[in-house]
Structure 1
């Protein structure tokens, strides 16, 4: 059984030698037989990786030591190893958005999976799926709006055309593992939206935390690896790949995270 682990962390690496950090992390991946992709940027780290549970524990421990932080990693499991190689990439952003945001502005916007159902059932709450159209097609939350984007960086255009802070006072959002919402939430706050909520840990955390009979999730959740999707039990799904990654590696600069 393979453990598939996702994690991200926004931290200031602008003063670090990212190429040296890349080499150090890649060495650890090789030594511990870790497969998958890690993205490094001046703003932090984002990853989806897989290995045996024992090797994964050792790898996360080594990353904590290398980065001087405590990573919050979330895992699913599969009988099949969903990645073929170990990769570490250096990019400008760990999830490509194209807009600078003040992360501190989003303090207090995180909603736990246990509280999420109550939030999105409230009258006057606009629920935004911040993922892309091909992800939305195979599963989403009941009542969610599909911005019909091809890339996360398309979302600001959707906001300009469809959302008004004077009319849309309450906006809730979600993504696969949380990383996209960490940028989208402070972006909306800077645009003047009054009450912004983001699902803590994303869809994967919700599916792991909320009993199946209480879930408002519908369908399966797209993941950026060879499984294509996971079901409500976080087991490999049966969905068709609608993405433009079909037949290619599904890991892009915008997300190797369920994600995140």
Structure 2
């Protein structure tokens, strides 16, 4: 790409010139990136991935490996150059936050970006507010330290609702009581639809004590006819205990943990 030369205003010599005035819907930054995979220019890797993964020909679809970026284009003076924080021509910061490892630029430092060596990528939210869980393979907020169920490489998987890869997702995530990770907005949507079980392991992930108490009362108030009053075996999704209980069309309570998140082993069907 040939450099286009524009007369620069005197203020452009200041490193904060144009701060927060350029970029895309994903990031405020004063440069674009040249994607080495397709040799095209985009404002950020998310812009690249959105465009390239929606191509009509599946063979042309691809995603950008952030660390492979070598060239950027300054949005102030349009100079293409090697990755660096400061433009070699007009001297502006192409991103107030800059990570040479991730080739990542962002003018909005209120996000409190930081690079996690263990994750190998940049995170937001402030280094002091996160810790890296080696077993789960990702950074979690400090309140979860010694207060979450570890699942091997839990974050290096796909959201069980929207199927977006969680590890480098820009959306907020949360750890369910079972230890599996999910997008926070997907978890909220799941709750709004009265889905109380983890989509992966089927364990109860919200407080169901009030619902269990109401269901217990309804079962006690509606006895089954004699021909249906027989014993069945049920498996509990929450504690894995197998119980012998009286059949009821409304549900079956685990005799070990009192959960109604059970399924009949005799028929093999979930309920």
Q: TM-score range by the shorter chain?
A: under 0.3
Higher helix share: 1
| Structure with more contact order per residue of length (Cα contacts < 8 Å, sep ≥ 6) | 1
- TM-score scaled by length of structure 1: 0.19
Larger Cα-atom Rg: 2
